[in-house]
Amino acid sequence: MADRDFVTREEFDAVRAMAQKAREENAVLEARIAALEAAPKKKG
């Protein structure tokens, strides 16, 4: 196992936290897009 390239627990936790934040931001953006798509269209 000496030839393996492992990450530290701190690095793993940091990347996991970044991924969780990205998922949460994506959920917010999905909701905003759905609301915009559902809004009545204005004729200009």
What are 20-32's pLDDT values in tens digits?
999 999 999 999 9
SS3 26: helix
What are the structure tokens assigned to 25, written together?
């931001």
Question: What pTM did the predictor assign?
Answer: 0.70
Rounded to an integer, what distance in angstroms lies between the CA atom of residue 21 and that of residue 15? 10
What are 1-44's pLDDT values in tens digits?
678 889 999 999 999 999 999 999 999 999 999 999 998 887 76
Distances in Å between the alpha carbon of 37 and those of 2, 9, 26, 29?
Answer: 53, 42, 16, 12
Residue 44 has a pLDDT of 60
Rounded to an integer, what distance in angstroms lies between the CA atom of residue 19 and that of residue 26? 10
Dihedral sign for Cα atoms in the order 10, 11, 17, 20:
negative
Residue 38 has a pLDDT of 94
